[in-house]
Structure 1
Amino acid sequence: MTSIRLKLIASLLAVLLLAALALGGATYRNALLETQALFDYQLKQMALSLRDQGEIPPGSANAEHDFVVQIWSADGRALYASRAHAAVPTRAVLGFADVEAGGQTWRTYSVATFGRVIQVAQPRQIRERLAADAAWRAVLPLLLLAPLLGLAVWWLVAHALAPLARVSREVRSRDAESLAPLSAEGLPEEVAPLVGSLNALLQRLGAAFDTQRAFVADAAHELRSPLTALKLQVQMLRRAPDEAARAEAVAALAAGVDRATRLVEQLLTLARNEPGSREPARQPLDLGALVRQALADSGTLAVARGSTLELDAQPGVRVRGDSAGLAALARNLADNALRHGPPGTVVKVIVAREGDEAVLSVDDDGPGIPEAERAQAFDRFWRREAAHGGSEAAGGSGLGLAIVRGVVQRHGGTVQLATSPLGGLRVVCRLPALPPSIDEP
C-alpha cells in the first residue's frame, strides 16, 4: 500500500531536482557562451594591441585569467613568452583556434605583423570553471529550499487529506449494522465522488440487508405452517385406530412432506435468482427443447388434477442463459397455472420468436388475476384465493411468480401479466434471442 503523502513529496522533490538540473544545464551553457564571447574578445584585443604598439609592455599577460602571450619571428624562432617554462602551445594558427598542449586545451588568437607572429592564449578550463560556478550559484538556492518545500508539501497534503482521514475514522468506528450515509461536508471536489459512491454502495447494502431480513422472516413464517401440519399428521398417524386410518394419515403426511419440500425448493430457487447472488454460467440454449423437458415434471401434476397441459414450441428459438434457471421458470409458470386453477384447467405453453426476442407465454382458462392485483402478484408469498379448489388447497406457496420475475430479470428480459384468450391469466416472458446461427458460447 502506497502513501499519497510520500508519493506527492517524492514527486515534488523529483520535479525540483529535474528543474534544478535543467536550470543548471541551461545556466552553464549560457554562461559558457558568454564567457567564450567575452574572453575571445579579450584575446583578440590583446593581440591587436601588442601588434599596434610594436613592443611588449610590462604586464601584458593577465594572471587572473591565465592569459599567456607568445611571439615568434617569421622563421619560427621564439622571441617572447610571458611564461617561459609553462606548458603552452608551441605553434600558432592565425585567428582563433583550439590547441592541445600540456595535457589541456588552449584557446588561442594569433596575428602576424612586422615579420612576427603574436599569439595570446588561455586555458579553456578557465572558461568552463567560470560557467560551472555560475550554474552552481543558480542551482544552490533551489537545493537549499528543497527540505523547506518538502515540509510545506507534507503539511499541505496532510491538510488536504484531513477530510478523507475523517471519513476513514467514521467508517472504522461503525459497526456492521450501521449503514447510514457518510457525511460529505467539507470534502474536496476530488474526494466527494468517492464518498458519493460509498454512500450509494451503503444504500444498496442496506436495501439488500432489508430484503434479506424480510425474506428470512417470511420464509420462517411460511415454513412454520407446513412443519406444524407435519407434526399434527405424525400425531394422527400415531393415534390411528386401524389400518385404514393409518393409511390415510400416511398419505396426508406424504402430501405434507411434498408441500414442504416444494416450498424449500422454491425458496432456494428464489435465493439463487436474487440480485447480487453469484451469476451462473450461461450458454446457448434451444428454449423450446428446454421448456419441453421442464414441463415433463409438471405432467404428473396435470394428470393428478385432471388438467390439460399443451406445448406449442417453434423450432430454432435460441437464447443464451442458465439452463437450470430457465427450467425453473417454465416449471413454475406451468405449476402456477395448474395449482391455482380448478381441476380440469387447460394450460397452453407457447415458445416463439418475435423479432430479436424469444417469447415464452403461458395461457390458462382458470380464474385469472384481476388487473388491479397483478402488480402485487410478483411479490414474495403473495396469495389470492383461487376459485374451485386452487391456491393453498392445492399447495401454493406464493413464490412462483416471484421466481419467474427473478429469472427473467437476470436474463435481461421482461415479464407481463394479461388476460388470456382462454379466459384466465396470460403470463408473457420476453428474453433476448440469439441469431439462429449462433451455436457456440
Structure 2
Amino acid sequence: MNSIRLRLLLALLAMLATAAAVLGGVTYRNVLVQTEALFDYQLRQMALSLRDQGEIAPSQANALADGELDFVVQIWSVDGRSIYATRDHANLPARALLGLAEVNVNGQVWRTFSVATRDRVIQVAQPALIRKRLAADAALRSVLPLLFLAPVLALFGWWVVARSLAPLERVAAGVRQRDEHVLDPLPTGGLPDEVEPLVGALNALLVRLGESFDAQRAFVADAAHELRSPLTALTLQLRLLRRAPDEASREAALTALGAGIERSTRLVEQLLTLARSEPSAAAAPAVRLDLAEVVREALVDTVPYAVSRGSELELHAEEAVPLTGDRTALGVLARNLADNALRYSPPGAHVVVRVGQADGAPFLQVDDNGPGIPPEERSRVFDRFYRRESSDEGGSGLGLAIVDSIARRHHASVALSESPLGGLRATVRFGDSR
C-alpha cells in the first residue's frame, strides 16, 4: 500500500471508527446509568408523596390503578396485613425492604422503594425488565446521532485528504510537462509549507539540469567549431601532399600533415578529458592518496617536453601530502599546469612545482618565468577555447578549463597571481584533509 491518499483515508477512518465506538459505548453506558438513577428517583418521590399525604383518596387510587402504568403501589399495615394494591397480580412482591431494593418474585425481578410510617408501610415497585428496556431505548436514542454523523465525517475526511493532496498532484502534473526542452521552474504560489521545500528542490534541480544541458550544447558547439579548423587544415595538407612536385615538397607536406594530426589528436584528447572532468560527469571513486606522489608521477610525462625546449622543470615535494580524490584526474590537473607553464614560456624557461600543506590544507603551486597573464585576462583563461591574442604557442585553449573543472570536482580553488620568478603563479588549494 504505497498510496498516501489511501493510507490517510484508512487512518482517518480507523480513528473515526474507534472514536465513534468509544464515544458511543461511553455515552450508552452513561445514559443507562443516568436513566436507572432517574427511575429510582421517581420510585422514591412517589413513595414519599404517598407517605406524606395520609389516606389515599378514591380518585388518586383510581389513577394509580391505571393498567398502563409500570409502577405498582402496595400498602401494608404495621402488622403485615395488605391494605392496598394498585392492581392484583400473583407475582407482586409480598414483602417490603425499606429503601431501594431488588426483589425476585417467581423469576421476575422488581425494583422497589419502601418507606415506613407510624401505622403503615408503603412500597412502590417497578419491573426491572421494563426499566432496562426503557433505559436501553433512551441510551440507543442518544447514540443514534453518532451513526448518522459518522458517514458525514468520513466524507468530510475524504474531502480534506483530497484537498490536502491536490498541491502534490499539481506538482506532479507540472513535472510531467517538463522535458529537456522545457525546464521552466514550477510555480510555488499557494503551496503548503510541507510541499514548498520539495518544489524548491525540484526547481533547483531543473536549474541545474538546464545549466548542464546548456553546457553540453555549448561544449558540442565549441568542439565542432574547434575541430573544423584542424580538419580543414588536414584536408588542405593532404591535397598539397598529393600535388607535391618533388621529394622535398612531399617531405615538407608530410611533416606539416603529421604536425596537424598531432595537434588534432591533442585537441580530441583534451576534449575527452574535459568531458570526463566536468562536475556533472560520473566521478571515479575517491581514494586516499598522496598528492606529492601523484604530482611526481604526472610530471614524468612532462619531462621530455621540457627537455625538448631546453627548459628546466623543478619539483619541491619533500613530504607526503594526504588527500582524498581521483588519482587520474589529479594527475591530469598537475600535468596540465606544468605543460601550460612550459608551453607558454620561452624555450629555456624555469618552472618550479611545489606540493605541500598550509594550515592543514593541501596545495599545488606552479611558478614560471614566462610572460605571465595580465590581471584583466586571468578570469577569462579558464573559459573553454579561450586563447590569448599575444600568445605565439598554438594551443587548444582547454588546459586551464580542464584544471578548473577538476579542481571544482575536488572542492578546490584555482588562483592566478604574479610569480616571484617573474612570470605566472598558479595555485590550487584543496579543502582541509584532516
Equivalences for residues 315-330 of structure 1 within 5 A: 315-330=319-334
Report the secondary structure of 1:315's partner residue: coil
Amino acid at match of 1:428: T
Of 126, 140, 144, 1:133 maps to 140
Matched with 1:289 is: 293
Report the secondary structure of 1:433's partner residue: coil
Amino acid at match of 1:255: A
1:316 is displaced (CA, Å) by: 2.8
Find the aligned partners of 1:209 and 1:303 in 2 and give their Cα distance.
Answer: 42
CA pair 237-33 structure 1, distance change in 2 beyond 3 A: same
CA pair 167-434 structure 1, distance change in 2 beyond 3 A: closer
CA pair 166-256 structure 1, distance change in 2 beyond 3 A: same
Find the aligned partners of 2:427 and 2:313 in 1 and give their Cα distance.
Answer: 17
1:254-299 Cα shifts (integer Å, max 9, x gaps): 4333322222222122222323333331121111111111111212
Report the secondary structure of 1:271's partner residue: helix
Asked whether the 8 Å contact 1:362–1:426 carries over to 2, the reply is: yes
Find the aligned partners of 2:313 and 2:95 in 1 and give their Cα distance.
Answer: 118
Is residue 346 of structure 2 the alignment partner of residue 342 of structure 1?
Answer: yes
Of 352, 370, 380, 1:366 maps to 370
Report the secondary structure of 1:326's partner residue: helix
CA pair 179-84 structure 1, distance change in 2 beyond 3 A: same
Asked whether the 8 Å contact 2:99–2:114 carries over to 1, the reply is: yes
Asked whether the 8 Å contact 1:181–1:199 carries over to 2, the reply is: yes
Q: More displaced, 212-221 or 48-57?
A: 48-57
1:122-175 Cα shifts (integer Å, max 9, x gaps): 236336413422323432452474587479769x939x94x8877766665666
CA pair 361-151 structure 1, distance change in 2 beyond 3 A: closer
Q: More displaced, 193-202 or 306-315?
A: 193-202
Gaps of 5+ in 1: 436-441
Find the aligned partners of 1:255 and 1:107 in 2 and give their Cα distance.
Answer: 121
Find the aligned partners of 1:103 and 1:360 in 2 and give their Cα distance.
Answer: 105
Alpha-carbon RMSD: 4.5
Matched with 2:403 is: 404
Report the TM-score, using the length of structure 2 for normalisation: 0.77
Equivalences for residues 209-358 of structure 1 within 5 A: 209-239=213-243, 249-358=253-362
Matched with 2:393 is: 391
1:312-351 Cα shifts (integer Å, max 9, x gaps): 1142311111112211111111111111112122111111
Find the aligned partners of 1:366 and 1:112 in 2 and give their Cα distance.
Answer: 129
Find the aligned partners of 1:274 and 1:63 in 2 and give their Cα distance.
Answer: 101
Gaps of 5+ in 2: none
Amino acid at match of 1:126: R
CA pair 302-102 structure 1, distance change in 2 beyond 3 A: farther
Report the secondary structure of 2:302's partner residue: helix
Find the aligned partners of 2:110 and 2:248 in 1 and give their Cα distance.
Answer: 130
Q: How many residue pairs align between the two structures?
A: 424
Is residue 120 of structure 2 the alignment partner of residue 120 of structure 1?
Answer: no
Q: More displaced, 110-119 or 221-230?
A: 110-119
Of 373, 378, 381, 2:382 maps to 378
Amino acid at match of 1:305: R
Asked whether the 8 Å contact 1:111–1:119 carries over to 2, the reply is: no
Once the two structures are aligned, what percentage of the paired residues are identical?
52
Matched with 2:420 is: 421
Of 143, 157, 165, 2:163 maps to 157
CA pair 72-419 structure 1, distance change in 2 beyond 3 A: farther
Amino acid at match of 1:415: V
CA pair 362-147 structure 1, distance change in 2 beyond 3 A: closer
Asked whether the 8 Å contact 1:61–1:67 carries over to 2, the reply is: no
CA pair 64-353 structure 1, distance change in 2 beyond 3 A: farther
1:403-428 Cα shifts (integer Å, max 9, x gaps): 11111112112110011111111000
Asked whether the 8 Å contact 1:25–1:135 carries over to 2, the reply is: no
Asked whether the 8 Å contact 1:349–1:363 carries over to 2, the reply is: yes
CA pair 286-171 structure 1, distance change in 2 beyond 3 A: closer
Matched with 1:33 is: 33
Amino acid at match of 2:366: V
CA pair 250-102 structure 1, distance change in 2 beyond 3 A: farther
Amino acid at match of 2:411: G
Find the aligned partners of 1:144 and 1:244 in 2 and give their Cα distance.
Answer: 101
Find the aligned partners of 1:131 and 1:314 in 2 and give their Cα distance.
Answer: 97
1:18-75 Cα shifts (integer Å, max 9, x gaps): 5544553453244233213212222334565677879996786997785577899999
Find the aligned partners of 2:222 and 2:147 in 1 and give their Cα distance.
Answer: 76
Report the secondary structure of 1:391's partner residue: coil
Report the secondary structure of 2:125's partner residue: strand
CA pair 221-43 structure 1, distance change in 2 beyond 3 A: same
1:382 is displaced (CA, Å) by: 0.9
